[in-house]
């Protein structure tokens, strides 16, 4: 009996402790380091930043910090414009995703029950194939002499090659394409559970289909709309691969800015400051998403 309660107590302590410790060391601590380095000065050295403090020197931790990188971020309006443009591109993409995703999710929810699992699997399957490869596929399609131009010229819709690659339009296409499963699945989950009798009642009482869509379907689908939108918006703001491969040089996005500060300019402190800026922009949507997600998991019980 003694032994049993001992193992129980031991496992009760160990089970949360191991993953807790892992995330603490490899998620939380790295985060604090980013914060610290964003407040230190760059150096031409290996690694290319001047540590503000030695690990043993706590007093120095507060002494050597300055806001130089952040002043630079504020003074140079490049970062301000990049932030605004990221938020704008992500917001427009999320709206487009809703417009494209809703009819698909709605169609899936209305399909005969025996096909639904197959349709869900078909939506998820592209997600399992590499993100990078799926974006690469669009380069060949959107190129000026690419497959889309060839197809449209063949049917006679256009006479001049389309110039979509390296524009913001290509970025929207890329984001909508890559994130579509993240929008469709939460929408489908709420639409599938919807009670059809409500719609029938509305129609019987003389409501038009359009009006019952807006007054019944949309409000009932709201949890899915919110979850899907946040699930797409948050990573889209920090997106790097899509603007880099499909966007033009004028497509400003903050994730791309961070990448080039780090890899091209080798300014680690400034890259860290950009990371903090990106995080400040995203902290509100992330907190909302976490609450929505936690509530969803709780209601599953």
Partner 1 sequence: MTMRRLSVFNVTSLVIGFAFLYLPILLLVLYSFNASRLVTVWGGFSTQWYGALFRNEALMEAAWVTLRVAFLSATLATVLGTLAALALTRYGRFPGRTLFTGMVYAPMVMPEVITGLSLLLFFVAVDFDRGFWTITLAHTTLTMCFVTVVVQSRLMTFDRSLEEAAMDLGAPPLRTFFSVTLPLIAPSIVAGFLLAFTLSMDDLVIASFNAGPGATTLPIKIYSAVRLGLSPEVNAASAILIGIVTLGVISATLLSKRSVLRSRRNAH
Whether 185 and 224 have beta carbons less than 8 Å apart is answered as no
Only segment of 63-71, 77-85, 134-142, 212-220 that touches partner 1 (CB under 8 A): 134-142
- Residue ranges in 113-132 that form contacts with partner 1 under rule CB under 8 A: 119, 121-126, 128-132
Q: Measure CA of the first residue to CA of the last residue in the chain; give whole Å.
A: 32
What is the smallest separation between the CB atom of 156 and partner 1, expressed in angstroms?
19
- Residue ranges in 8-67 that form contacts with partner 1 under rule CB under 8 A: 8, 11-12, 15-16, 18-20, 22-24, 26-31, 33-34, 37, 47, 51
Among 58, 208, 294, 295, binds partner 1 (CB under 8 A): 294
Task: Please tell me the distance from the alpha carbon of residue 250 to that of residue 266, in angstroms, as a whole number.
Answer: 21
Give 142 or 168: the residue with its C-beta nearer to partner 1: 142
What is the smallest separation between the CB atom of 121 and partner 1, expressed in angstroms?
6
What is the SS3 assignment for 197? Answer: helix
Q: Which of 217, 267, 274 is nearest to 86 (CA)?
A: 274
What is the smallest separation between the CB atom of 67 and partner 1, expressed in angstroms?
19
Among 64, 161, 223, 235, binds partner 1 (CB under 8 A): 235
What is the smallest separation between the CB atom of 110 and partner 1, expressed in angstroms?
5
What is the SS3 assignment for 42? Answer: strand
Size of site (CB under 8 A) for partner 1: 95
Q: Does 136 bind partner 1 (CB under 8 A)?
A: yes
Q: Which of 178, 180, 183, 175 is nearest to 253 (CA)?
A: 175
Q: Token digits for 221?
A: 């689908």
- Residue ranges in 254-283 that form contacts with partner 1 under rule CB under 8 A: 255, 258-259, 262-263, 268, 271-272, 275, 278-279, 282
What is the number of helices (H) and of strands (E) in the chain? Answer: 15, 0
State the chain's maximal CA–CA distance in angstroms. Answer: 84
Only segment of 67-75, 76-84, 214-222, 291-299 that touches partner 1 (CB under 8 A): 291-299
225 Cβ neighbours under 8 A, 6+ residues apart: 98, 186, 187, 190, 218
Among 110, 193, 211, 295, binds partner 1 (CB under 8 A): 110
Give 138 or 172: the residue with its C-beta nearer to partner 1: 138
- Residue ranges in 144-203 that form contacts with partner 1 under rule CB under 8 A: 145-147, 150, 177, 180, 184, 196-197, 200
Task: Please tell me the distance from the alpha carbon of residue 192 to that of residue 185, in angstroms, as a whole number.
Answer: 10
* Bond from prior residue into 21 cis (ω within 30 degrees of 0): no
């Amino acid at each position: 009996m003694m032994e049993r309660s001992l193992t129980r107590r031991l496992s009760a302590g160990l089970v949360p402790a191991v993953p807790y410790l892992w995330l603490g060391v490899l998620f939380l601590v790295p985060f604090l380091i980013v914060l610290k380095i964003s407040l230190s000065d760059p150096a031409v050295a290996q690694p290319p930043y001047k540590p503000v403090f030695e690990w043993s020197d706590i007093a120095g931790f507060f002494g050597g910090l300055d806001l130089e990188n952040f002043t630079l971020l504020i003074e140079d309006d490049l970062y301000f414009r990049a932030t605004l443009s990221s938020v704008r591109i992500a917001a427009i993409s999320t709206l487009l995703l809703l417009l494209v995703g809703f009819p698909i999710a709605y169609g899936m929810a209305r399909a005969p029950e025996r096909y639904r699992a197959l349709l869900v699997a078909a939506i998820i399957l592209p997600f399992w194939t590499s993100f990078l490869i799926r974006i690469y596929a669009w380069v060949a399609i959107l190129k000026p002499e690419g497959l889309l131009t060839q197809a449209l010229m063949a049917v006679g819709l256009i006479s001049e090659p389309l110039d979509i690659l390296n524009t913001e339009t290509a970025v929207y296409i890329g984001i909508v394409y890559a994130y579509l499963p993240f929008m469709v699945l939460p929408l489908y989950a709420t639409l599938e559970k919807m009670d059809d009798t409500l719609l029938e009642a509305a129609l019987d009482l003389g409501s038009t289909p359009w009006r019952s869509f807006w007054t019944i379907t949309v409000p009932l689908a709201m949890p899915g709309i919110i979850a899907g939108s946040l699930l797409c918006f948050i990573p889209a703001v920090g997106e790097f691969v899509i603007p880099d491969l499909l966007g033009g040089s004028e497509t400003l996005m903050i994730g791309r800015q961070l990448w080039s500060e780090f890899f091209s300019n080798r300014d680690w402190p400034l890259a860290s400051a950009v990371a903090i800026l990106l995080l400040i922009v995203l902290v509100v949507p992330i907190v909302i998403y976490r609450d929505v997600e936690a509530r969803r998991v709780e209601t599953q019980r």
